[in-house]
Structure formats: structure tokens, C-alpha cells
Amino acid sequence: MKAYNWGILGTGNIAGKFTRALMLLDNAHLHAVGSRDKLKAEAFASEYGFRNSYGSYEELVADPGVEIVYISSPHSHHLEHTLLALQNGKHVICEKPMSLNAAEVEIMVAEARKNGLFLMEALWPPFQPSYLKAEEILRNGKMGKLLHMRGKFAFISSYDPEIRTYDIRLGGGALLDIGIYPIMDILRFMGEPASISAASVLSPTGADESTSAIFRFGDGRLAEAYCSFGNMGGISTEFNCEKGNLILTRGRDRSQHLIIEFPEDTDDRIFTPPAMGYQYEAMEVMSCLDRGLTESSVVPLSFTLTLARTLDAIRGITGIVYPGRDR
Ligand SMILES: NC(=O)c1ccc[n+]([C@@H]2O[C@H](COP(=O)([O-])OP(=O)(O)OC[C@H]3O[C@@H](n4cnc5c(N)ncnc54)[C@H](OP(=O)(O)O)[C@@H]3O)[C@@H](O)[C@H]2O)c1
């Protein structure tokens, strides 16, 4: 098995979680970490055991040993940092959302293709065992036709204009941060809608505190997605089918549940992957590279583009604007 040298760009919250997951993989070497702050990079490197640490992202991507860069900066910087990595010959897995709008995602995709390099949006759910099981059950026909979906992702993040989730300059807002998940689910399982209705509650910075969207499909089916930083609504996606329901949800202990409901019985299957399952997306990157592929069939770039265009459409309806970055 070929082993790959990883470079981590940024040392925030998700970078630590992703690194802990990489540590589970024999074919992933913790080669280097880059931060805007040399001391932060050194602290991160010594906490997790990276061989090298750099006080700038430019130095990270200039390291000839780095083969794959994981972009964990705020959404507002995904475009700049992904291009930086690609233009320095590195394969990239970039945190979600891929960027602030579809036009920027198109630039990223074109750059990866021009350079023959791998690029994938770090959409975590489709690689999880619970999700794979749900897909299998929906595919094998036991539930009958999928009639309707409803997804929500809501937790309390108290308003603070200085934090990433509300800072409009960093791409703050519930839709791009967490609404992306139920919307991803709906697009994956029901396809592209014929029309969308939506509404947002905007915070004083202009970042959406909550957004709700209704998708109508050409065959008359409906789906709803809701996201909020304003309540403890939790995380779940419900699939209502002809013969029963599937519910993907998460426990307070972060375990993943797949609830299978038939009229006569209910089965609650619990999945608790180590390191919250972030290793599966890293495995996908390396498996694709092993096979000489520059994109994943699980999260293809065409899907990332469709997702970005859908988020753009919702923002257009509800008035979420990223100043200087929109149209
Ligand atoms: N897949 C998931 O489950 C998941 C979960 C959480 C977040 N995310 C995504 O990961 C990204 C980062 O989220 P996070 O929660 O890790 O954020 P965070 O804790 O604020 O960390 C972001 C890091 O980005 C770097 N950065 C570069 N330019 C920056 C700037 N202008 N302002 C602030 N930080 C800057 C910083 O690292 P240095 O100071 O070291 O340079 C910072 O520590 C977001 O796009 C988010 O959507 C994904």
C-alpha cells in the first residue's frame, strides 16, 4: 500500500479532529502543518506528531514532501488556499462548503483539472457507515419508493459578530455551515429540484441565523431542509418511503443512528466510528490517488458544483450576501 504525506493547512477546530482521524491510517503520514502563526504550527505539530511545521501556508505548499493538502481555513479562504495548493502541485481535500459561490467553485475545479490534480469537497456524511447502510436499504427496494425527505441541522451558537459562524467576511451563516448537510442529502437522494422556495432569518452581520428551504421536484415530490444556530433542533434526515421511514440522526454522544421504521416494528442501529469517522474521507482521497483518479465518485466535482449552485439559488431568494464575493 502506498503511503501519502499529508499537509494540514490551518490549525483550527476541525484541523485537530481531521488529524486525529488521519492518525488511524497506516498509509497517511503526518508530514507538515502550516499556520499563519509559526508558534501555533509548532504547537499543533508537537501535539499530533507532524515532522514539519511552517509559519505560513506558502511554506507549507512549497514543501516538496507534501503530497495532499487538507484545507481547513474558513469558507471565505477556501478558494485562495485551494488554488495555492493546486498551483504548487498538491492534491487537495477542501472543507465544506467548497467556496462561497458556484463561480468560485468552477475556478477551483478548472484549476485542479488543468493541473491533473485530485480535488474533493470534504463532505463527511456520504462516507459514514450509517449513511452507506441507508443508501443500501433505499437501493434494495425494501422501503419502496422514496416519497419525501426532511432534513435539519440545528444547534445553539449564540450571536457574536466576531466568531466564524456569524462573521460575514469569513462566510458566516447557518446555510453554508450546516444547512449544506440536509441540502446535500436531498440532492443526493432526490436529484435536482425543479424549483425552490426559501426564507432566512438574518443576524445583524447579514449572516443567516436560520434558513428554511422547500424543494419541489418535477414529479411532484417535495423535500424540506432547515438549519439554525438559534435552537437545539438537532441533526436528522428523514426519508419517508412507500413502505416505511428511514431516519439518519446523531445522538448527544455523537453516535450515528439509522432508525428503520416499518408499521409493525422499529430498528435503531447505532454506529460509533472512531475519530468521528473523518478517516473515511481521507481514505477515499488516497484510494482515488492509488487508482490514478483525480476525483471521487462518492463526492464528484459535478455534485459539488450542483450543491454550490443550489446554495447560491437559496441565497438569492433569501438575501444572504457575501460582500465583494457575490455576482
Ligand atoms: N466537516 C466537518 O464536520 C466540519 C466541522 C467544522 C468545520 N468545518 C469546516 O472547516 C472550516 C474551518 O472550520 P473550523 O471550525 O475549524 O474553524 P476555526 O476553528 O475558526 O479554524 C479555522 C482556521 O483557519 C485558519 N485561518 C486562515 N485564515 C483565517 C482567517 N482569515 N480567519 C480565521 N482563521 C483563518 C486559522 O488557522 P491558523 O491560525 O493556524 O492559520 C484557523 O485556526 C470551515 O469551512 C467549516 O465549514 C467542517
Cα(236)–Cα(150) distance, integer angstroms: 8
Q: How far is the CA of 101 from the centre of ligand 1 (A)?
A: 18
- How confident is the model over 90-127, as pLDDT tens digits? 999 999 999 999 999 999 999 999 999 999 999 999 99
Is 80 exceeded by the pLDDT of residue 19?
A: yes
Cα(40)–Cα(150) distance, integer angstroms: 41
C-alpha cell at 39: 508558534
Q: Is 207 in the pocket of ligand 1 (CB under 6 A)?
A: no
Ligand 1 atom with the smallest distance to the CA of 10 is 37
- How confident is the model over 167-186, as pLDDT tens digits? 999 999 999 999 999 999 99
Cα(143)–Cα(12) distance, integer angstroms: 41
What's the pLDDT band for 263 if we cut at 50, 70, 90?
very high
Q: Is 12 in the pocket of ligand 1 (CB under 6 A)?
A: yes
Q: How is residue 219 annotated by DSSP?
A: T
Q: How far is the CA of 54 from the centre of ligand 1 (A)?
A: 17
Ligand 1 atom with the smallest distance to the CA of 124 is 1
Which secondary-structure segment (H or E) carries 295?
Answer: none
Residue whose Cα lies nearest atom 7 of ligand 1: it is: 14
Cα(214)–Cα(197) distance, integer angstroms: 5
Q: How far is the CA of 260 from the centre of ligand 1 (A)?
A: 35
- pLDDT given at position 1: 81
Q: How far is the CA of 171 from the centre of ligand 1 (A)?
A: 11
Q: Name which of 321, 316, 309 is nearest 98 in CA terms.
A: 309
Ligand 1 atom with the smallest distance to the CA of 276 is 3
- How confident is the model over 175-227, as pLDDT tens digits? 999 999 999 999 999 999 999 999 999 999 999 999 999 999 999 999 999 99
> Does residue 273 come out as left (phi exceeding 0), alpha (psi in the -120 to 50 range) or beta?
beta
For residue 220, what are the contacts with CB-CB under 8 A and spacing of at least 6? Answer: none
Q: How far is the CA of 221 from the centre of ligand 1 (A)?
A: 36
What mean pLDDT, rounded, does the chain reach?
Answer: 97
- pLDDT given at position 327: 57
Average pLDDT over residues 281-298: 98
- pLDDT given at position 113: 98
Peptide bond into 97 cis (omega under 30): yes
Ligand 1 pocket test, candidate residues 19, 40, 73, most atoms within 8 A of CB = 73
Query: Which residue type occupies 254?
Result: R
Q: How is residue 228 annotated by DSSP?
A: E
Q: Is 16 in the pocket of ligand 1 (CB under 6 A)?
A: no
Residue 254 or 235, more confident: 235
In the chain, the percentage of residues whose pLDDT exceeds 90 is 98
Sequence spans of domains, the chain: 4-121, 126-277+307-318
Ligand 1 pocket test, candidate residues 50, 95, 128, most atoms within 8 A of CB = 95
Q: How far is the CA of 170 from the centre of ligand 1 (A)?
A: 9
- pLDDT given at position 253: 82
Q: Is 302 in the pocket of ligand 1 (CB under 6 A)?
A: no
Cα(240)–Cα(72) distance, integer angstroms: 35
In the chain, the percentage of residues whose pLDDT exceeds 70 is 100
Average pLDDT over residues 148-162: 97
Which secondary-structure segment (H or E) carries 269?
Answer: strand 266-271
Is 70 exceeded by the pLDDT of residue 249?
A: yes
- Sign (positive/negative) of CA torsion 54, 55, 59, 61? positive
Q: In the CATH hierarchy, which top-level class contains the domain 4-121?
A: alpha beta
Average pLDDT over residues 289-307: 98
Average pLDDT over residues 126-153: 96
For residue 97, what are the contacts with CB-CB under 8 A and spacing of at least 6? Answer: 75, 78, 121, 171, 176, 177, 180, 307, 308, 311
Architecture of the 126-277+307-318 domain: 2-Layer Sandwich (3.30)
Q: How far is the CA of 111 from the centre of ligand 1 (A)?
A: 22
